[in-house]
Structures are given as C-alpha cells and as structure tokens.
Amino acid sequence: MMLSEADISAIWLTLKLASTVTILLLIIGTPIAWWLARTRSWLKGPIAAIVALPLVLPPTVLGFYLLIAMGPNGAIGEFTQSIGLGTLPFTFWGLVVASIIYSMPFVIQPLQNAMEAIGQRPLEVAATLRAGPIDRFFTIVLPLAKPGFITASILGFAHTVGEFGVILMIGGNIPDETRVVSVQVYDHVESLEYAQAHSLSALLVIFSFIVLLALYWSQRKNSSASIGVMK
C-alpha cells in the first residue's frame, strides 16, 4: 500500500480536523444535551429538530447554505470580517465550523440519551446532601453519563473523518488547507489513479471497522457493568 506525500498530508489534516471538531462538539454539545434531557419547555421539540437536521438534510444543501452564511454578505461572514478574521469558506476553520454543525447530532444525541437515563433519583439524593447544581453535574451527571461521552466521541470523530459533501462545498480542494482524505480519494478517482484511490479507501474501510468494533466493545462493557451492578 503506497501513500504519496499528498495522501499523508490529507490524512494528517483529516485527523487534525476530526480531533478539533470532536473536542469542540463535546464542549458545545454537553450543555445543549443537558438542557434537552432536563427541560420541559415547548422549545425542546424545535431545538431537538434543529440538532437532528443534518441527519436528513443532504450534505450539499447544508454546505450550500453554510457557504452563503459564511460568505462576505452572510451573517456569519459579516461578523467574522468585523472582528478581523476575514471569511471562513475555503479555510481550515471554515471546515471546523461546517463539521461541527454537520456532526452535531452524532454527539448531542448520545449525550442526551445518557443523561436522560440517569433519572431524577441520584440528583435528588445529592440535593438532600446539600450539593449545588454545579456540584451535582460534575460529581453525579458526568461520571454516570461516561458511556454516552465515549459513544459521542467515537461517533463524532468517525463521522467527521467520513465527511465529503459539506467539506467539498465549504473547503473546496486546497492542499494542506482543506484537502482531507475523502476529497483526496475523489481526486485520485477523477485522475483515474485507481491504485492510490484504493489505498486510501482501504484505510478508511479499516478505520470504519475499528470504530465499529470500539463502539461495540464499549457498549458491551457498559452493559456488562450495568448487569453486575444490578446483581
């Protein structure tokens, strides 16, 4: 399996993008998931629908509207220009913003499910011991929701690695800046370089298989631990 310098550069850029997006999504998604898990507001439905929208929206449609929003005349573009950052399309950070939105349901939904599964009882017991809301969150919610965080991290990272449509719309195909593995495979196919395309595609297949194994192992371990606690 021979990888060119451009292939290796695309792999490192993909890993950098997926790591950045996963960390930021965990930071952004945790309070959103906690609110969705706890609230009884009528806004829960619309907010949950917005979070899940990338699951059903074609990537090119999402990419198109993000391209407009982040362009010179878009709301995001005008804001980034006003603070001296210029416009985000066709930059690495443009890919980060687009990937955060596109991968959001793969992080927030597992977190929300894990937090909902905790129930009220542990929090009520902690409250009777005079634990404040922040203390309860960090000492009760986060440890008990650990399986959800593991699942969310794996799915968020893997989904970002496999992105194509949104990436191509927002980032284009700039070497060392926006050309990730999926775009590199597309380039090889367009150039009829099937051997190189096969090498990168095989890596993605192996990566996907390892991700699914890790996810299955994590869920099985957590399920066994839950059964042990019940016994």
* Residue pair 81/90 in contact by the 8 Å Cβ criterion: no
Cα-to-chain-centroid distance, residue 111: 12
What pTM was estimated for this model as a whole?
Answer: 0.87
Closest Cα to residue 141, out of 113, 117, 115? 115
Q: Would you tell me the crossing angle of helices 181-190 and 194-230 to the nearest 10 degrees?
A: 150
Q: From first to last of its 231 residues, what are the pLDDT tens digits of the chain?
A: 577 888 889 999 999 999 999 999 999 999 999 999 988 899 999 999 999 999 999 998 999 999 999 999 999 999 999 988 889 999 999 999 999 999 999 999 999 999 998 888 888 787 787 777 788 888 888 888 988 999 999 999 999 998 888 998 999 888 888 999 999 999 989 888 888 888 888 888 898 888 888 888 877 776 655 544 334
Q: Which domains does the chain have, with CATH numbers?
A: 5-222 (1.10.3720.10)
